[in-house]
Amino acid sequence: MSEYLIGVDLGGTNIRAAAVSPSGSILDRISIPTQAYQGRRAVVKRLIELIRGIEEKFGKKGQRLVGVGMGIAGAIYLNRGLVSRSPNLEGWENFKLMDRLQKYLDFPIFLENDANAIALGEKWKGAGKKAESFCCLTLGTGIGGGIILNNKIWHGVDGTAGEIGHTTLDPQGPPCNCGSNGCLEIYASATGIKRMVLEKIREGNKSSLLKKCQNKIEDITAKMVYDSAKDGDELCQGVFREMGRYLGIGLANLINLLNLELIVLGGKVTQAWNLFIGETRKEIKKRGFTPSAKRTKITKAKLGDDAGVLGAVYFALEKLGGEQRRRQY
Ligand SMILES: [Zn+2]
C-alpha cells in the first residue's frame, strides 16, 4: 500500500491543501476560500472536511495517509499546538488548534508557522535546495519570514522566531499592525507600496494612477501601482525604488547578523522584481559589514503557492522521523 501525506496552508484568504508523496511529488491540489469572517468554528469545520475529503479519495485508491503538516498564518507555540496570535484569523488568539483537530482526525498532525513552511518548501524542492543557511521572505499583504540555519528552521524558544517583517527600520516611521513603528513590512509589502503611493499623491504629486482610479485614491491597489510603473509612471517607479531600498536595509541587517549564503524572496510583490531589486542590491552592498555579506545571493522563490503545502509536508516528515523515511523513496 503506498503512503502519502497532506500539506495544508491555512491563510487569511485561502486554505490550500495538497496530497503529497513522501518524495515530494504533488498528487492533488485543492484550494477553498477561508472565509475567516464566519469565525473559528466554521473555518475549522471546513478544514476538517477538506482533509477528510482528500483522505476518502485516496483511501479508495488504496493509499494510506501517514500524517498532515499544516502551515498557519500566525504565531504558533509549536510544543502546545497553540495559535498564539494571528492577524489574519480573527478570534484565533490562544486557540488550541491541535487539540481540536486531533479530536476529529485520527492521524498525526503537525503545526508550523506558514512562512516557516514556505521556507522549508523552498529548501526541499525550490530555490534553497543547495543552501544550508538562508532566509526566505514572502512579500505579500504583509511580510512573512523563515530562517533556516544549518538545514533547520530556527524556531526560537517558543516557536515564534523569524518575524523579519517586524524588524524596525525607522523608529519614527508609520505605525505597524504589530504595535511598533517603521517595521520592514510598512515599506516592502503590497500594503506598504499602496501606503507610500497614497502618501505621495496626497502631497500633491502627479501620477497616471489618479485617472485610473477616477480620483478615488483609496481604490488604488499594489497591482495598479505595478502596472503603472511598467507603463512608465515616474511616481510609481519611484515608490518601487524606495521599497527596494528599505528592503535592502532590512536584508543587510539580516545578513550582518546571520552571515547567510542566500536570501529567497517570494510573494506577489516579487512580480515587480526588476523595479526594485537593483536598489535592494545597492543597499546590501553599501551596508554589508564584511565582503561575504556584500555578496550574499538574493534570488526569487521558485515554487509559488506550492511552497507552503510542500514545506508543511516536509515538516511533518521530519517529525515522523523523516530523514530515513524520505531516503526510502
Ligand atoms: Zn510591525
* Per-residue model confidence (pLDDT) at position 177: 86
Strand pairing class (26-33; 14-20): antiparallel
Give me ligand 1 centre to Cα 51, in Å.
33
pLDDT at 215 over 90: no
Give me ligand 1 centre to Cα 162, in Å.
12
Which has more pLDDT, 117 or 293? 117
Give me ligand 1 centre to Cα 280, in Å.
20
Give me ligand 1 centre to Cα 185, in Å.
6
Residue 118 carries which side chain, given as an amino acid letter? I
Give me ligand 1 centre to Cα 9, in Å.
22
CA distance 78 to 157: 10
Give me ligand 1 centre to Cα 1, in Å.
48
Q: How confident is the model at residue 40 (pLDDT cuts 50, 70, 90)?
A: very high
pLDDT at 233 over 60: yes
Give me ligand 1 centre to Cα 113, in Å.
17
Instruction: Name which of 88-102, 160-174, 224-238 the model is least confident about.
Output: 88-102
- Which residue in 59, 50, 56 sits closest to 16, CA to CA? 50
CB atoms within 10 A of CB 24: 18
Give me the residues near ligand 1 (ion), CB cutoff below 5 Å.
Answer: 166, 176, 178, 180, 183
3-state DSSP of the chain: CCEEEEEEEECCCEEEEEEECCCCCEEEEEEEECCHHHCHHHHHHHHHHHHHHHHHHHHHCCCEEEEEEEEECCEEEHHHCEEEECCCCCCCCCECHHHHHHHHCCCCEEEEEHHHHHHHHHHHHCCCCCCCCEEEEEECCCEEEEEEECCEECCCCCCCCCCHHHCECCCCCCECCCCCECECHHHHCHHHHHHHHHHHHHCCCCCCHHHHCCCCHHHCCHHHHHHHHHCCCHHHHHHHHHHHHHHHHHHHHHHHHHCCCEEEEECHHHHHHHHHHHHHHHHHHHHCCCHHHHCCEEEECCCCCHHHHHHHHHHHHHHCCHHHHHHCC
pLDDT at 326 over 60: no
Give me ligand 1 centre to Cα 232, in Å.
31
CA distance 276 to 246: 10
Is the C-alpha dihedral spanning 116, 117, 120, 122 positive or negative? negative
Q: pTM of this prediction?
A: 0.93
**171-211, pLDDT tens digit by residue?**
999 999 889 999 999 999 999 999 999 999 999 999 999 99
* Per-residue model confidence (pLDDT) at position 161: 93
Is the C-alpha dihedral spanning 45, 46, 50, 56 positive or negative? positive
Which has more pLDDT, 13 or 243? 243
Give me ligand 1 centre to Cα 119, in Å.
20
**257-316, pLDDT tens digit by residue?**
999 999 999 999 999 999 999 999 999 999 999 888 888 999 999 999 999 999 999 999
Give me ligand 1 centre to Cα 243, in Å.
16
Q: Which three cell numbers stand for residue 271?
A: 512580480
Q: Cβ distance 91 to 40 under 8 Å?
A: yes
Q: What is the mean pLDDT of the chain?
A: 93
Largest Cα–Cα separation, the chain: 67
pLDDT at 325 over 60: no
* Per-residue model confidence (pLDDT) at position 73: 86
Give me ligand 1 centre to Cα 45, in Å.
31
Give me ligand 1 centre to Cα 174, in Å.
10
* Per-residue model confidence (pLDDT) at position 329: 45
Q: Cβ distance 268 to 139 under 8 Å?
A: yes
- Which residue in 107, 8, 126, 115 sits closest to 63, CA to CA? 107
pLDDT at 131 over 60: yes
Strand pairing class (143-149; 152-153): antiparallel
Q: Cβ distance 185 to 143 under 8 Å?
A: yes
Give me ligand 1 centre to Cα 166, in Å.
4
